[in-house]
Amino acid sequence: MEPNDTGMRDCVVVGGGAAGTSAALTLARARHEVLVVDAGQQSNLAATGIRSLVGHDGQAPADYYAAARSELLAYPSADFHRGTVTQGVREEDGGFSFVLDDGRSERARTVVLAPGVEYRHPELPGMAERWGRSMFHCPFCHGWEVRDQPLGVLATGAEGVRGSLNLRAWTDRVTLLTNGGELTDDQRDELAAGGVDVDERSISGFDGPGAELKAAVFTDGAELPIAGLLVKTQLRQRSSLAGDLGASLTEPDERLSVEAIRVDPMGSTGIPGLYAAGDAATSVPPSMAAALASGYLAGGSAAVHLATGY
C-alpha cells in the first residue's frame, strides 16, 4: 500500500529479517500502513538451515524469509521494498524521514529499526568460505551438525575457556586455539580439568574441501585435524542510523561483545515513535527466536503508539 495523502506512512521498518518482518506483521494486522525496507542481507543466509527455531528446525533461511515476506504481503496495509536506508532524521514535528540508496524518500510517524548487526570475527585465510557452515559463532545453532568430531574454538582468555568447556557437550575432543594469545596458569588448569586441549601457536589458515573443515594449519606448518570451529565473534551496528535518529547504544558488553541499541523490554528507545528489535537491539546472545519475539513486541508498541499516542 502506498503512503496516505500526507505522504506519511504509519511505520517504516528498517530491515526485513526475523525481527523486522515480525514487527511489520504485528503492525499490518493492527491495520497500520507499514513499509519494510530490506537490503536482503540477513545474517544467517550463509547457513544451510535455521536451527533451534521450533517449527522451522532445518529450514533454509532464504525459504524462511520468502515465506515471512509472503505472509506479510497478504495484508493490504503492508508494503515491502528491496533497498537500503542510507539516511534518516527525526523531524521537528516528531515524524521521521528517510533516504534510500535508489534516491527514494520515505516519511513515517513511527519507525522500527531491525537492521541486524555485523558479526565480526578474525579474518584468517580459509574462514570466509566456511562461515556459517563448518565455522560458527554459536554452538546451539551448529554444534549438533558436527557432534562427536574433533572441534576447535578460536578465542582466548575467559571467553575461550567458557566457550571450550561448553562445546564439550557436543564432543569429547575440543581444542582451544588461542592463535598466539596467552592463557593464565589457572585457565590452563581449568581447561585441563574439563578435558579441553590447548594450542597456543599462531594460525596461518584453515584447510578442507569447499565449506568443509579438515584442519587448522599453524605458521610452523603443522596441522590439527578439526571438523568444526567455534569462533569468538563481536556484534557491531551495521550503520549509524540508530544514533542519527536519536537512539543511544549500550557499551559493548565484554562477555557477549554486543553493542546494542538501548531499548526497554517493549522495544522503545525512549524517543517517541522510535522502536528497535532483533540483533541490533539485543543484549543477550542473538537468535531467531529472540529476534521474532522482540520484533513482535516492538511492532506492538509502535501500533499502540499510533493508536493512542502512548
Ligand X SMILES: Cc1cc2nc3c(=O)[nH]c(=O)nc-3n(C[C@H](O)[C@H](O)[C@H](O)COP(=O)(O)OP(=O)(O)OC[C@H]3O[C@@H](n4cnc5c(N)ncnc54)[C@H](O)[C@@H]3O)c2cc1C
List residues near ligand X by CB under 6 A. 14-20, 37-44, 46-47, 50-53, 84-85, 114-116, 119, 132, 141, 238-239, 241, 278-280, 286-289, 291
Do 128 and 205 touch, CB atoms closer than 8 A?
no
Q: Which is nearer to ligand X, 196 or 299 (by Cβ)?
A: 299
Position 175, amino acid: T
Query: Which residues, 6 or more positions from 183, have their beta carbon under 8 angstroms from its beta carbon?
Result: 156, 157, 160, 161, 176, 191, 198, 200
Q: How far is the CB of 246 from ligand X (least distance, A)?
A: 16
Q: How far is the CB of 35 from ligand X (least distance, A)?
A: 11
Q: How far is the CB of 17 from ligand X (least distance, A)?
A: 2
Q: Which is nearer to ligand X, 18 or 174 (by Cβ)?
A: 18
Q: Which is nearer to ligand X, 132 or 273 (by Cβ)?
A: 132
Q: How far is the CB of 248 from ligand X (least distance, A)?
A: 18
| CB neighbourhood size of 193 (10 A) | 9
Q: Which is nearer to ligand X, 142 or 191 (by Cβ)?
A: 142
Q: How far is the CB of 120 from ligand X (least distance, A)?
A: 11
C-alpha–C-alpha distance, residues 36 and 13, integer Å:
5
Q: How far is the CB of 88 from ligand X (least distance, A)?
A: 8
Q: Which is nearer to ligand X, 187 or 287 (by Cβ)?
A: 287
Q: Which is nearer to ligand X, 196 or 260 (by Cβ)?
A: 260
Residue 135 CB-density burial (10 A; 0-12 exposed, 13-18 middle, 19+ buried): buried
Q: Which is nearer to ligand X, 31 or 211 (by Cβ)?
A: 211
Pairing of β 215-218 and β 223-225: antiparallel
C-alpha–C-alpha distance, residues 266 and 281, integer Å:
11
C-alpha–C-alpha distance, residues 257 and 234, integer Å:
5
Which stretch of DSSP H or E encloses residue 191? Answer: helix 185-193
Sole residue written with cell 561483545:
257
Q: Which is nearer to ligand X, 53 or 196 (by Cβ)?
A: 53
Q: How far is the CB of 90 from ligand X (least distance, A)?
A: 16
C-alpha–C-alpha distance, residues 50 and 292, integer Å:
13
User: What is the Cα Rg of the chain in Å?
Assistant: 21
Of 301, 291, 297, nearest to 115 by C-alpha is: 291
Which stretch of DSSP H or E encloses residue 49? Answer: none
Q: Record the cell numbers describing residue 236, joined without a space.
A: 557491531
Q: How far is the CB of 268 from ligand X (least distance, A)?
A: 17
